[in-house]
Structure 1
């Protein structure tokens, strides 16, 4: 469903990592804390950026697969994975909010939209405990009406169940909603849920240009959202306009 089909904007849903907050640096720190603890080779931030999207356990499995020259499937099936995952969770809980930062204009855009009566939600594949810390550390929690995380939503994106649950909670129909994300995962989830999707150029899309995922609009930052409001529909943007 394109932006042209929207009638009244009631709900904007956002991805978190790579959309509202740059988190790759501190995730890299926690991954390397874990790898170092077990005597494994470290990874760089670009690798971590390319692994972000499906939640931290999947990211850890990919990092471990790289470090051990194995496959992520084999890593997750190993007897040691739960021990490693528990240590990573401990390290990441300590690192959360220490080296991340909101992207430019995030706070002002969320505040302005909320002031206009638009409902705002985060729908992320990141686990709830880490999501809460990141949002709280950067003062974003008071600007949101709902948060659905990878372990609290009915299913992770690209499954549309989380988006649908969020829409149901606010009584918003698909043409009244917009998802803002940074990856092909977000685009696929929005398409499956029947909602318009805008995507940012600066995020984490497994190393691929986001325009290739064909969102309804490509954004260099969130300020174009200020052209929308509770009494406005979503314009029909060019799929590759910034």
Structure 2
């Protein structure tokens, strides 16, 4: 499928542009060790990524995707602080861009597309990671998971980008690896691209009916 009349492209970050799983796992396990809890493999922690830092921490404390209803909120808040402090100092230890991400983003920008990031990751971490990976200056707007009252899968962040850039929803495309990205796009009638790599809770991204599915980030250029 070839998109037409598009002006802006909105990108998820973790699992779409960057593989941050190794550093997230490092920070999660540091938090668990500090609290004298059992640690987990990177593969297991991968399945907990995507709904923001507090949810990731709560899942780790629960030892599963389903958060323990008995989890003490003050204890979880303390755990989050430990996680965030460590992660802030270890943002780009093992984090890398996925294949062809830098070159494809630059090619899209050269074609005249306006680029934005809509992530559930805390805002403060986003720019340092982009700078560290050579992606600084490519994005006109960055929204973190704490930038607004709502985050994906709520469509509010996507609509906020449209309003801020003064671009119609129909002139935008959301690109992401997770059901949160596609559900947010579907909720505001924005067309979307699902990538088959990344972190989607072990589910096939096609279950959520993105308009286009790509196995490699460079394939975006065939649709735009």
- Of residues 188, 191, 199, the one that matches 2:186 is 191
The residue that corresponds to 1:95 in the other structure is 90
Q: What SS class does the counterpart of residue 60 from structure 1 fall into?
A: helix
- Encode CA deviations 1:116-174: one digit per residue, 9 max, x unaligned: 11100000000011222221211112111110010113410010000001011111112
The residue that corresponds to 2:70 in the other structure is 74
- Encode CA deviations 1:43-99: one digit per residue, 9 max, x unaligned: 1111111111100110010000118xx944432x43322211111111111121111
The residue that corresponds to 1:211 in the other structure is 206
Consecutive unaligned residues of structure 2, counting only runs of 5 or more, are none
Consecutive unaligned residues of structure 1, counting only runs of 5 or more, are 230-242
Cα distance, 1:7 vs. partner? Answer: 4.2
Q: Is contact 2:196–2:204 with CA below 8 Å preserved after alignment?
A: yes
Question: Which structure 1 residue ranges, 4+ long, deviate > 2 Å from structure 2?
Answer: 70-75
The residue that corresponds to 1:48 in the other structure is 45
Q: What SS class does the counterpart of residue 37 from structure 2 fall into?
A: coil
The alignment of Structure 1 onto Structure 2 pairs a total of residues equal to 223
The residue that corresponds to 1:20 in the other structure is 17
Q: RMSD of the TM alignment (CA)?
A: 1.7
* TM-score using structure 2 length: 0.94
Cα distance, 1:224 vs. partner? Answer: 2.4
**Structure 1 residues 146-225: aligned runs within 5 Å:** 146-225=141-220
